[in-house]
Amino acid sequence: MKRFAPQPKFCAQLLTDFANAKDTDDAVRALIERCRHVFGYSPDFLTRARKAFPRRDTLKPFLHERKLDSLNWSDVQRALKDVLGEPLSAQEREQYDRYLRIAEFHRRIAQLRERVRQTLEGIANGTPIHKNDNLYQFITSYPNTCEQIPLVNSDGTSFWYEPLYMMEHLCQLQGSPTEGLEVLATAYERIITFCVVTFARSARDRKLVYRCHKCPAFFVRSAANDRYIYCQNCSRKDNRSREEKSQQQRNWRRRKREEKKRQLYEAKVENLMSNLGCTREDAEDTIKADLELERSK
């Protein structure tokens, strides 16, 4: 049996695309498209999953009538509840009930998107895990949110647990319309939680996410190109002079040299503490004395 091994970089890309989306429709579309890479779903998954989620365009007639902004889903829900309190025909009541369920679905997606944005912002700023409240909430909810199933290898000598993601939850609405939308929103929340935990587990992987210096977008940097400070859209619009770009390169090389010096210094301190059994202060004094001795020669 092939073992499921998601790549943290794919999970990070799913999260950044989800957070950078301009509205809930784009957020869900980005999540669905990236799910195929993260979980290795079949090519027909995209077509089926896109048809499953209710787009906010469905509410256009009601939004246009009430002059409401679909980005503020709390106001939309409040207006729909007011309408449902009026005398309505059975057909109208059924229609507005459906609108209310769709508005609740998009409200949950909007809240989830905001949580992901705040989580990525804390990660990009280097906030420790115990101080990044949103990241810590994802971590603590992971055992209860992400169901796991036991898998056994072909010869029966070992087993392991892996997350259970039912593709049919993402590709069709199960049960009644109300239950179906709740299941669909819950499936998206489970996927986001899994990707956050998988990506943020390693300090090295957390450094992949960066905040653009020109816009509020997040992007994923590769290990070979960790000097990038602009997202892909802003890089195309980079009109800085040649000297400014050269200065950026010089600053990047200087930071790399300083980082390497710090790493060598820490390695020397750890080596002295291990070999001599001394404290850190004594090790630093020894290194300082050696440097002064070299300069005096």
Number of domains the chain is built from: 2
The bridge status of strand 159-163 relative to strand 218-220 is: unpaired
Residues pairing with 163 in the sheet: 148
Report pLDDT digits (tens) over 272-287.
888 888 888 888 888 8
CA angle 130-131-135, nearest 5°?
70
Does residue 195 sit in the same domain as residue 288? no
**End residue of a domain, out of 235, 255, 271:** 235
Same domain, residue pair 256 and 220: no
pLDDT given at position 225: 59
Structure confidence at residue 118 as a pLDDT band (50, 70, 90): very high
SS3 216: coil
Mean pLDDT of the chain: 78
Q: What is the pLDDT of residue 212?
A: 85
What pairing do the DSSP bridges indicate for beta strands 209-211 and 159-163? unpaired
The secondary structure of 191-212 as a DSSP string is HHHHHHHHHHTSHHHHTTEEE-
Q: Is the pLDDT of residue 109 over 60?
A: yes
Residues 134 and 221 grouped into a single domain: yes
Contact 100, 178 (CB under 8 A): no
* Nearest-angstrom CA–CA distance, 164 and 187: 10
Q: Is residue 1, in this structure, part of any structural domain at all?
A: no
For the record, the structure tokens of 214 come out as 């020109």
Q: Residues 261, 165: one domain?
A: no
Q: For the domain that residue 70 is a member of, what is the CATH number?
A: 1.10.3300
d(CA 257, CA 264): 11
Q: Please measure the distance between the N-terminal and C-terminal CA atoms of the chain and give it in whole angstroms.
A: 66
For 5, residues 6+ apart whose C-beta sits below 8 A from its C-beta are none
- pLDDT of the residue at 126: 86
Domain membership of residue 3 (yes or no) is no
Which has the closest alpha carbon to 189: 115, 100, 82, 250? 115
Answer whether residue 4 shows pLDDT above 70.
no
Of the candidate ranges 112-116, 120-124, 232-236, the one whose mean pLDDT is the lowest: 232-236
Within this chain, do residues 149 and 110 fall inside the same structural domain, yes or no? Answer: yes
b/e for 17-42, b at 16 or more Cβ within 10 A? Answer: bbbbbebbbebbbbbbebbeebbebe
- Rounded to whole angstroms, how far apart are CA atoms 220 and 286? 41
Summarize pLDDT for 164-210 with one digit per residue, the tens. Answer: 555 555 655 444 455 567 778 888 888 898 889 888 888 888 888 88
**Residue range of the domain that includes 149:** 8-235
Model confidence at 163: pLDDT above 70: no
Q: Whole-model pTM above 0.85?
A: no
Question: Quick one: what percent of the chain has pLDDT higher than 70?
Answer: 78
In a domain, 2, yes or no: no
pLDDT tens, 125-161?
Answer: 888 888 889 998 888 888 776 666 566 666 666 665 5
- 151 and 73 part of one domain: yes
